[in-house]
Amino acid sequence: MDRCANVHGFAAVTAVEPMSTAQTDDELVAAVLGGDEAAFELLFERYRRSVTRLAYRFFYRQEQVEDIVQESFANAYFAFGSYRGGHEKSFIAWLSRITIRTCYDVMRRTRRAENMLNELSQDEEATLAARLRGAALGSEIESAAISRDLAAKLLQRLDPEDRLVLTLLNGADLSVREVSELTGWSPSKVKMRAHRARKVLQRVLHRYV
Partner 1 sequence: MFRRNEKLIQAEQLDRFEHEMLRAVSASEEELDAVADSPDLYEKVRLRIAVDERAWAQPRSATGLFGTPLRWSLAAAIVLILLAVAALLWLPRPSRETHEVAPLVPHSIPAPPPSNVDQAITPPSASTPQQPRRVARRRPRTDNRADEVATDFLPLTYIAGPAASDSGHVVRMNVPRSALIAMGFPMNVDRAGELVKADVFVGDDGLARAIRFVQ
Binding site for partner 1 (CB under 8 A): 6, 8-9, 41, 44-45, 48-49, 52-53, 55-57, 60, 62, 65-66, 69-71, 73-74, 77-78, 131-132, 135-136, 141-148, 151-152, 154-155, 166-167, 170-171, 198, 201-202, 205-206, 209
CA distance linking residue 120 with residue 172, whole number of Å: 25
Q: How far is the CB of 125 from partner 1 (least distance, A)?
A: 14
Quote the radius of gyration of the chain (alpha carbons, Å): 20
CB of 22 to partner 1, least distance (A): 21
Query: By C-beta, is 8 or 87 nearer to partner 1?
Result: 8
Closest CA to 197 of 173, 163, 167: 163
- Contact by Cβ (8 Å): 28, 20: yes
Q: Which is nearer to partner 1, 53 or 189 (CB)?
A: 53
Of 122 and 142, which has the nearer Cβ to partner 1? 142
Give 143's Cβ-side CA count (13 Å radius): 2
Distance separating alpha carbons of residues 132 and 122, to the nearest angstrom:
15
Residue with smaller CB distance to partner 1, 191 or 198:
198
For the purposes of burial, counting CB atoms within 10 Å of the CB of 182, is it exposed (0-12), middle (13-18) or buried (19 or more)? buried
Q: Which is nearer to partner 1, 87 or 99 (CB)?
A: 99
Question: In the complex, what is the shortest distance from the CB of residue 80 to partner 1, in angstroms, rounded to a whole number?
Answer: 11
- CA neighbours closer than 13 Å in the CB half-sphere of residue 131: 16
Q: Least separation, in Å, of the C-beta of 147 and partner 1?
A: 8
